[in-house]
Amino acid sequence: MKTLAFFNNKGGVGKTTLVYHLAWMFADMGKRVLAADLDPQANLTSMFLEEAELEIVWNPNSNEAGSIMTPLRPLIRGLGDIGQTPFHQITPTIRLVPGDLGLSNFESILSETWGKCLDRQEPAFRTTSSLYRIVRQGAEAFAADIILIDVGPNIGAINRAALICADAVVVPLAPDLFSIQGLRNLGPTLRTWRQEWAKRRAENPAPELQLPQGAMTPLGYVVLQFGIRDNRPIKAYDKWAKRIPSTFSEDVLDQPFAPPVPPSEDANCLGLLKHYRSLMPMAMEARKPIFKLKPSDGVIGAHTSGVKDCENDFHQLATRILAKLGEKA
């Protein structure tokens, strides 16, 4: 079972849409998928669930399984450790740990306990590892093959606690100046968090407490909304796309970069995904991934080839991710 986080501190690049589509694609490939929404904006949850379902999930007085906040409440109130992992079954092979806007209130607590771990305080370790233990508990109960974690576009304490859960990190980005700058911030941040967690983990006063390894290995990047015209990158995108490979190698992997290559020839590039134009609104309306759209959803004419292209693109992407993780497709 591998845990994969999707992270870029530059927002608006299509990260949550990527996680959503990959969850469905991995399931189509025979994998049991647990999707954990650890972004306080809860956009992944709103993609999977309808409004009536969200109302139940986010109601603290509901008898239903609830959101990520449900197992955290006893810990936050100082009344005990984490509770049982909530989940919503999307299909027999996809489960969602729903996100919650209230998760943002956990930020200051996680920030405080990070420092207290150095003082060997067991409650601090229980709080810092809470997201990991909730997600892991749910994955083991489901016998998941892969865990996909969606996080917010920032470098705050919630993301730090979420990312130390991850065996590997995929970086979604757009070919623009903002994503390039995001890569320059992301690499040093991951290295710092990895080093700081290793130091804290060594101070754990409770050997029976299950803690994450905090590997956070950069698996590679995915270029989303890649501007394509006649199967060639348009000029506005091409300029920044050419800078991605060297920036990822130098700033994220902390490695010198060889002679420049375009992303399509870069071993660190997991995939180039097109915009898919009008298919995305259609998929949102139908509440399904693009590659599952049918004529009954409005797919006619040229849309049909777009749906097939999307399926091929995500199948190739999922296959490459599994290969990088050392898993069979």
What pLDDT was estimated at residue 226? 62
pLDDT digits (tens, 9 = 90+) for 66-90: 999 999 999 998 888 999 999 999 9
Query: What's the mean pLDDT in 260-280?
Result: 88
Task: Answer whether residue 305 shows pLDDT above 70.
Answer: yes
Query: What's the mean pLDDT in 318-328?
Result: 93
Q: How far lies 132's CA from each of 3, 54, 158, 166, 294, in Å? A: 10, 23, 11, 9, 37
Query: What's the mean pLDDT in 167-184?
Result: 92
| Higher-pLDDT residue of 94, 234 | 94
Q: Kindly report the pTM of this predicted structure.
A: 0.94
Task: Answer whether residue 230 shows pLDDT above 60.
Answer: no
What pLDDT was estimated at residue 231? 58
Q: Which stretch, 76-90, 137-151, 168-182, 256-270, has highest mean pLDDT?
A: 137-151
What pLDDT was estimated at residue 227? 58
Q: Look at strands 168-173 and 2-6 and give their pairing.
A: parallel
- Domain spans, the chain: 2-280
pLDDT digits (tens, 9 = 90+) for 184-221: 999 999 999 999 999 999 999 999 999 999 999 999 99
Task: Answer whether residue 222 shows pLDDT above 90.
Answer: yes
What pLDDT was estimated at residue 238? 81
What pLDDT was estimated at residue 14? 87
Give domain 2-280's CATH number out of 3.30.70.1730, 3.40.605.10, 3.40.50.300, 3.40.50.2000.
3.40.50.300
Token pair, residue 139, equals 């994955």
Per-residue DSSP letters for 43-73?
HHHHHHS-HHHHHHHT-TT-SS---THHHHH
Q: What are phi and psi of 179, to 5 degrees?
A: -70, -35
∠ at Cα 215 (213, 218), nearest 5°?
160
What pLDDT was estimated at residue 62? 73
∠ at Cα 200 (199, 206), nearest 5°?
130
Task: Answer whether residue 140 shows pLDDT above 90.
Answer: yes
Do the beta carbons of residue 267 and residue 311 sit within 8 Å? no
The DSSP bridge partners found for residue 171 are: 221
Element (H, E) at 15: helix 15-28
pLDDT digits (tens, 9 = 90+) for 109-126: 999 999 999 999 999 999
Q: Please, which residues have CB within 8 angstroms of residue 233's CB and are 6 or more apart in sequence?
A: 175, 226, 227, 241
Matching residue, tokens 């956009």? 43
Q: How far lies 39's CA from each of 16, 29, 96, 178, 288, in Å? A: 9, 26, 13, 20, 21
Token pair, residue 75, equals 């810990």
How far apart, in whole angstroms, are the C-alpha atoms of residue 235 and residue 254?
Answer: 29
What pLDDT was estimated at residue 256? 85
Which residue from 325, 249, 16, 276 is spatially nearest to 151, judged by alpha carbons?
16
Q: Please, which residues have CB within 8 angstroms of residue 25's CB and are 6 or more apart in sequence?
A: 289, 291, 314, 315, 317, 318
Query: What's the mean pLDDT in 4-10?
Result: 91
| Higher-pLDDT residue of 2, 276 | 2
Categorize the per-residue pLDDT at 99 as very low, low, confident or very high, splitting at 50, 70 and 90: very high
Per-residue DSSP letters for 135-203?
HHHHHHHHT-SEEEEE--SS-SHHHHHHHTT-SEEEEEE-SSHHHHHHHHHHHHHHHHHHHHHHHHHTT
The DSSP bridge partners found for residue 272 are: 223
Categorize the per-residue pLDDT at 228 as very low, low, confident or very high, splitting at 50, 70 and 90: low
What pLDDT was estimated at residue 79? 85
Query: How many other C-beta atoms are found inside a 10 Å radius of the C-beta of residue 179?
Result: 27
Token pair, residue 285, equals 């309306």
What pLDDT was estimated at residue 141? 96
> What percent helix, strand, coil does the chain show, rounded to 5?
50, 15, 35
